[in-house]
Structure 1
Amino acid sequence: MKVTVEIDCTPVEARQFFGLPDVQPMQGAVMAEVERRMLAEMDRFSPETLMKSWLSFTPQSAEQASELFMNLFNRSFGGGKPQTK
Structure 2
Amino acid sequence: MKVTVEMDLTPKEARELLGLPDLQPLQDAMVARMQENMEQAAARLDPEDLVKAWMPLGQQGLEQLQRFLFGAAGAAAAGRTGGTRSGEGS
TM bracket, shorter-chain basis = 0.5 to 0.7
The equivalent residue for 2:78 is none
Distance of 2:19 and 2:33 partners within structure 1:
27
Tell me the percent identity.
37
The equivalent residue for 1:20 is 20
Q: Could you list the runs of 5+ residues in structure 2 that have no partner in the other structure?
A: 76-80, 86-90
Which of 57, 62, 68 aligns to 1:58? It is: 62
Distance of 2:33 and 2:45 partners within structure 1:
18
1:14-66 deviation per Cα after TM superposition (whole angstroms, max 9, x unaligned): 011111121111111111111111211225666x343x334623128xxx71x
- TM (normalized to structure 2)? 0.57
The equivalent residue for 1:78 is 83
Q: Could you list the runs of 5+ residues in structure 1 that have no partner in the other structure?
A: 81-85
Distance of 1:40 and 1:17 partners within structure 2:
40
Q: Which has the higher contact order (CA 8 A, sep 6+)?
A: 1
Q: How many residues align?
A: 73
Seen in structure 2, the aligned counterparts of structure 1 residues 14 and 58 have a Cα distance that, compared at 3 Å, is same
Seen in structure 2, the aligned counterparts of structure 1 residues 78 and 15 have a Cα distance that, compared at 3 Å, is same
**Which amino acid in 1 is paired with 2:25?**
P
- TM (normalized to structure 1)? 0.59
Radius of gyration: which is bigger? 2
